[in-house]
Structure 1
Amino acid sequence: MGKLISQDDVITKTVKGLIVLPENHSLVNSLTKDVSHMMREAKTACMHCSLCSEVCPRGLLGHRIEPHKLIRIASYGKVCDSKVTPVNAFLCCGCRLCEYACVQNLQPWKINGILKGEMAKAGIRNSLNNKPEKSAAFREYKKFPVNKLIARLGLSSYDKPAPMVPLEKKFSNVFIPLKQHTGVPAEPVVKVGDLVSKGDLIGKISEGKLGSNIHASMSGTVTSVGTDSISIQV
């Protein structure tokens, strides 16, 4: 469920881990595949076999999402089921398992993402907030094997012991975003010229707001304070 980042991106509170991949890796190609190309593939290659829906984790929990019906929009311009609407796409968590279960490597998750974006622009909200009454039948037997998923992701060669090692590199300056989380950006509590120590509070969430406080990642002098970031230099 990760995303592509460049060498210019910064580490934030939401970063859990990094995998360095060649530019032509299948995962990179999947994430960067042009939307129009993806729609053409869905229109011409989808067999409507429903395998993507059989393994969908959200569907197996009992949520009303069936990726194989939503991908019909690419082929027919509709879902061909009076009980299903594009709003069901809001239930997609974007795990992308549907793509790796598909024998044609199609991307129902990407179509769901497009639908969610277009509906959000139109002011349409998710109305499917009810808790599932029960999970799908035989759910325990439909879970996708982890080893099979790793192989389909093309990551088998990365599945090795990775012991933690001390980082010796020292930095002379850092750029710290004030929004690294869900909610509003933190408000700066320092000014240019202030001396800070590693761990000091430099950005605070206003009372009653959703967000996360920001702390200095190194000791030094504050060199810039903006509405979206703070810079510190040794």
Structure 2
Amino acid sequence: MTPFLQQLQDAGVVGAGGAGFPVYMKLNCSVDILIANGAECEPLLNKDQMLMQHESDALIKGMEIAMDYIGATQGIIGIKKKNRRTIETLKPLLPKSISILEMEDTYPAGDEAELIYRATGMRIPAGGLPKDIGVVVNNVESIINVYWASTNKPVIETMVTVHGEVTQPYTAKLPIGMSYADAIAIAGGVTCDDFVIVEGGPMMGSVTTDINKPLTKMSSGLLVLKADSRVAEIKQRTDAQVIKMARSACDQCGQCSALCPRALLGYPVDPRKTMRVALVADSEHALAGQACCGCNLCTMWSCPEGVDPQRVCSLAKRGLAEQKLSRTAEQLQAQTKEVHPLKPYRGVSTSRLMRRLEVLDYYGRTVEYKADIVMPKHVAIPLQQHIGRAAQAIVSVGQNVNKGDVVAQACSDSLSVAMHASVSGKVVKVDHQVVIESLC
């Protein structure tokens, strides 16, 4: 591993906009184009906008550092054109090698395949990776963290939007390991009796009722919703309920497939066909869902019957993997079609989507940016915050640590990154996470 990639691994830099893929491995390539994903297409989140506005210099420098290493001659920052303040903040700082792609306010503008197509006109090969066509995509927060890593500052905070049923929505950089309860307390607490927390955005986020869960490097939003809200109800369905609804209500209208963003790009995905696995466990039907990216538009927007095509696709993909029946990348590529001629006319506007999700009322509220927050009394830093092997704890109970100290090192023989103390204090527990009692 080169010194630069080692620096990223040691600093704990992972993808902040998705599944947490270690960035040192993502940048271990040679490509022509680096894309910074600032599209932020999940409704109600604005953490990427705050990062680009308040750490604009770090973003540009991070892009230049990454571009120099991977040999890219072109850098592109994808931002929705509605975010004028962000665009105007960045414009004066742009070198000739970096430009801004102003995007429409549609969902899922931030999907990697969608963003690459809009920025370059190229498509990632089905079952392949962006680097196969000479492109690397990283969330803007990941690229900012690349810059800070180059100055020997590890990842100990994450930018998070706290919104929904709270007294005062806000966006702030919060210490990794802070509990959801502490993050929500900064927003003045919850304003309803029975609630759930959506981790991430209302489209692709997951639901929990555990307020003691800790923030991780991948945390982007905590959306507090009433337990009987439409989003909460859909996300809390069991697999059995999803299958039962598919069997009783799906009339094969085809709206899920007609509006599927990946299908419109020509990828071999057909949610309508996959829905038939609820009736007949046929591998051919299941294979029609293998290329699903999980954007959830079919479930949350397209389906007139209120069933859950995305979950059925997810279950089908799981079954294919377990039975080792998934198509190879070559087989998927052989089934790829041309981009649908009506694709430009089938985008779903964010405002209309929020109305369907029944979260539009939250959109009009002011989301305050908080530069200073009160440090929590303790943090719980999970050792598994990324794709790959969990980090290995190197501290013990009773040990004092300073903010930024390494508390868990990367596994040397596999994909892994280090973890660091987000507060100064005493280690009080070490198991699957390192719990630190703050000195504050």
Shorter-normalised TM range: 0.7 to 0.9
Secondary structure at 2:288's aligned position in 1?
helix
Q: Distance in 2 between matches of 1:164 and 1:126?
A: 46
Deviation at 1:223, TM superposition (A): 2.0
CA offset digits 1:68-102 (Å, max 9, x no partner) = 11112224x167xx9x5412322111111001211
Task: Say if 2:380 is the partner of 1:180.
Answer: no
Tell me if 1:171 matches 2:371.
no
Give me the whole-angstrom Cα distance separating, in 2, the residues matched to 1:58 and 1:127: 18
Taking a change above 3 Å as real, the CA distance of residues 78 and 190 of structure 1, as seen in their structure-2 partners, is closer
Does the 8 Å CA contact 2:273/2:285 hold for their aligned counterparts? Answer: no
Question: Residues 169-219 of structure 1, C-alpha deviation per residue, up to 9 Å, x if partnerless?
Answer: 442222111011111101123223322111222112123522332111110
SS of equivalent to 2:379: strand
> Secondary structure of 1:19's match?
strand
Q: Give runs of aligned pairs for residues 27-46 of structure 1, distance below 5 A.
A: 27-46=231-250
User: 1:154 Cα shift?
Assistant: 1.1
Equivalent residue for 1:134, pick from 338, 343, 354:
338
Equivalent residue letter for 2:252: H
Q: How does 1:155-170 map to 2 (within 5 A)?
A: 155-160=359-364, 161-166=366-371, 168-170=373-375
Please point out which of 78, 89, 96 is paired with 2:296: 96
8 A contact 2:268–2:337 mirrored in 1: no
Task: State the shift of 1:128 in Å.
Answer: 4.0
Which structure 1 residue ranges, 4+ long, deviate > 6 Å from structure 2?
A: none
- Residue type matched to 1:3 in 2? S
Match status 1:232 vs 2:436:
yes
* Aligned position for 1:114: 315
Contact 1:173 1:232 in 2 (8 A): yes
2:207 corresponding residue in structure 1 = 4
| 8 Å Cα contact 2:257/2:271 also seen in 1 | yes
Q: Whose RCO is larger (CA < 8 A, sep 6+)? A: 2
Contact kept? 1:192, 1:224, Cα under 8 Å: yes
Structure 1 letter corresponding to 2:377: S
Task: Establish whether residue 148 from structure 1 lines up as the match of residue 352 from structure 2.
Answer: yes
Find the residue that maps to 2:426 and give its secondary structure.
Answer: strand
Question: Any conservation in 1 of the 2:271–2:288 contact (CA below 8 Å)?
Answer: no
Higher strand share: 2
Q: Which amino acid aligns with 1:108?
A: P
For 1:64 and 1:128, how far apart are their aligned partners in 2? Answer: 11
Q: Equivalent residue of 1:183, what SS?
A: coil
Task: Say what the alpha-carbon RMSD is for the aligned residues.
Answer: 2.2
**Alpha carbons of 1:192 and 1:36: their partners in 2 closer, same or farther (altered >3 Å)?**
closer
Which AA in structure 2 matches 1:121? Answer: E
Q: How does 1:31-70 map to 2 (within 5 A)?
A: 31-70=235-274
1:24 Cα offset (Å): 0.7
One-letter code aligned to 2:390: P
Q: Distance in 1 between matches of 2:325 and 2:372?
A: 47
Would the aligned equivalents of 1:87 and 1:127 in 2 still touch at CA under 8 Å? no
User: Is the 8 Å Cα contact of residues 70 and 112 (structure 1) preserved in structure 2?
Assistant: yes
Q: Distance in 2 between matches of 1:148 and 1:78?
A: 35
Distance, in Å, in 2 between the alignment partners of 1:98 and 1:110 is 10
Work out whether residues 185 and 211 of structure 1, in 8 Å CA contact, stay in contact via their aligned partners in 2: yes
Partner secondary structure for residue 398 of structure 2: coil
Residues 88 and 128, structure 1, Cα contact 8 Å, conserved in 2: no
In structure 2, what is the Cα distance between the partners aligned to 1:210 and 1:133? Answer: 34
TM-score by length of 2: 0.49
Gaps of 5+ in 1: none
Question: Cα gap change, 1:62/1:211 in structure 2, threshold over 3 Å: closer, same or farther?
Answer: farther
